Amino acid sequence: MNTLLRLAPGLARSRRHTAVLGTVNALGALRSFHGTPLAFRVAGIQAAELQKTLTTNPKPLIPKEELVFGHTFSDHMLTVDWSAAEGWGKPQIKPYGPLSLDPSCSVFHYAFECFEGLKAYRDESGNIRLFRPDKNMERMNSSAERLYLPQFNGEEMIECIKELLRTDKRWIPEGKGYSLYLRPTLISTENTLGVHRANKAMLYVIASPCGPYFKTGFKAVSLYCDETNVRAWPGGVGNRKLGANYAPSVGPQVAAEKKGYQQVLWTIGEDHELMEVGTMNLLVLWRNEQGEVELITPPLDGTILPGVTRDSILELTRSWGEFKVSERKINMKQITKACDEGRLLEVFGAGTACVVTPVKCIHFQGKDYNIPLDPNNPESQAGPITNRIYQTLFGIQYGEVPSKWSVVV
């Protein structure tokens, strides 16, 4: 039999003031979202009301060396139900298990679903750390708004996630490169057919322990520039983290792999403007035609996902002040010309799972363009700037490099 616990009184008291403010903030978001006075009468997420039902049958831990990303899950999950009439219900931490949903739920038929991905790290002192979780909550609310799903107070949700981490602390592996991957997900649970705004929804978080993305150090990847398929388009939802953006990418990914390439390079338009690489943001380091060393990434024009790692890299490299950092459009004609002229220095993808992924080759219009890695080390699988970015962000995530981005739970 499971044990039902209320949130510890001390934590409840410490959260009371913030919870009240969080409710006001959440109601404000709901009002702007729904645009009706009803928003003032519904409840926001309040961490102080969180309840826990603990499992009486904890699962055995898998040796961390055997972890496969996304295949193992912790003992508990976090859920919060929502209805248009009553707003957000009480957050619940309960044993991990299947969801009971009606076959007519609109999430199954019309893709009312968005999600996030972030990690919890264990530092050398045993502290649990999150990396910029506020940015994930901000982006998830943006995704929810586009789907007309309910928004929520990010600060309150982070406190709920922290309690989930305290509950499942034993599932956070020790050691550099190991972490607990968190997957917040928001779905419509409206059990009627027909395309309309959802009147019921569920926000839940599951956790999966994972090992290093590169188990034996960096391994640069090759890209196939897809000239047929488009990941996103102006006026679409490429800047939101929706499940509907990912399933259509599987076919082109499989096709690229059959041609001998690891990832798809997504472009758009007749000029093949660069967009993203696989499911990652794309960054290019080159010497531009004015002779400046410049780090470029495509701008957030509505087609590009505003990645947390992307934003961190831009802020970090701008703080270095060593080269120009730009958010602007760049196309394959410019890339191939720079490669032929020896001006292309490094190319890499960036995302939560890997931090950065070096690129060694781009296939475009029947030709492979080889990308330099480290000119001073022929055996290296990453360029010096790519590696420096990785080591710096890695150090912040594990608390070795002091930063406001690292949040201790």
Burial of residue 313 (number of CB atoms within 10 Å: 0-12, 13-18, 19+) = buried
DSSP string covering 26-55, please? HHHHHHHHH-SGGGGTSBPP-GGG-EEEE-
Instruction: Tell me how far apart the alpha carbons of residues 134 and 309 are, in angstroms, rounded to a whole number.
Output: 13
User: Other C-beta atoms within 10 Å of 401: how many?
Assistant: 14
User: Looking up tokens 């395309």, which residue turns up?
Assistant: 195
- β-strand partners of 195: none
Give the pLDDT of residue 216.
Answer: 66
User: Other C-beta atoms within 10 Å of 50: how many?
Assistant: 26
Sign of torsion over alpha carbons 279, 404, 205, 211: positive
Sign of torsion over alpha carbons 182, 186, 187, 190: positive
Over range 349-372, report the average pLDDT: 96
**Under a CB-based contact definition with an 8 Å cutoff, are residues 203 and 136 in contact?**
no
Residues 6+ apart with CB under 8 A from 28: none
Instruction: Tell me how far apart the alpha carbons of residues 168 and 311 are, in angstroms, rounded to a whole number.
Output: 29
Give me the torsion for CA of 36, 41, 42, 48, rounded to 10°: 140
| Segment 207-231, tens digit of pLDDT | 999 998 877 678 999 999 999 999 9
Instruction: Tell me how far apart the alpha carbons of residues 52 and 4 are, in angstroms, rounded to a whole number.
Output: 6
| Segment 48-65, tens digit of pLDDT | 999 999 999 999 999 999
- β-strand partners of 80: 203
Q: Distance of CA 55 to CAs 92, 232, 383, Å?
A: 13, 42, 47
As a whole number of Å, the CA-based R_g of the chain is: 22
User: Other C-beta atoms within 10 Å of 196: how many?
Assistant: 11
Give the pLDDT of residue 3.
Answer: 42
**Which amino acid is present at 14?**
S
For residue 111, pLDDT beyond 60? yes
- Residue 147's nearest CA partner among 78, 104, 201 is 201
Average pLDDT, the chain: 91
For residue 396, pLDDT beyond 90? yes
Give the pLDDT of residue 21.
Answer: 34
| Segment 294-342, tens digit of pLDDT | 999 999 999 999 999 999 999 999 999 999 999 999 999 999 999 999 9
At 129, is the pLDDT very low, low, confident or very high (cuts 50, 70, 90)?
A: very high
The overall pTM is greater than 0.85: yes
Give the pLDDT of residue 42.
Answer: 60
Three-state secondary-structure class, residue 380: coil
Instruction: Provide, rounded to the nearest whole percent, the portion of the chain with pLDDT above 70.
Output: 89
The backbone region for 322, taken as left when phi is positive above 0, alpha when psi lies in -120 to 50, beta otherwise, is: alpha
Q: How many residues does the chain have?
A: 409
At 399, is the pLDDT very low, low, confident or very high (cuts 50, 70, 90)?
A: very high
At 14, is the pLDDT very low, low, confident or very high (cuts 50, 70, 90)?
A: very low
Q: How far apart are the first and last CA of the chain?
A: 29
Specify the range with the lowest mean pLDDT, choosing from 27-31, 82-86, 330-334.
27-31
Instruction: Provide, rounded to the nearest whole percent, the portion of the chain with pLDDT above 90.
Output: 86
| Segment 374-384, tens digit of pLDDT | 988 988 999 99
| Segment 161-201, tens digit of pLDDT | 999 999 999 999 999 999 999 999 999 999 999 999 999 99
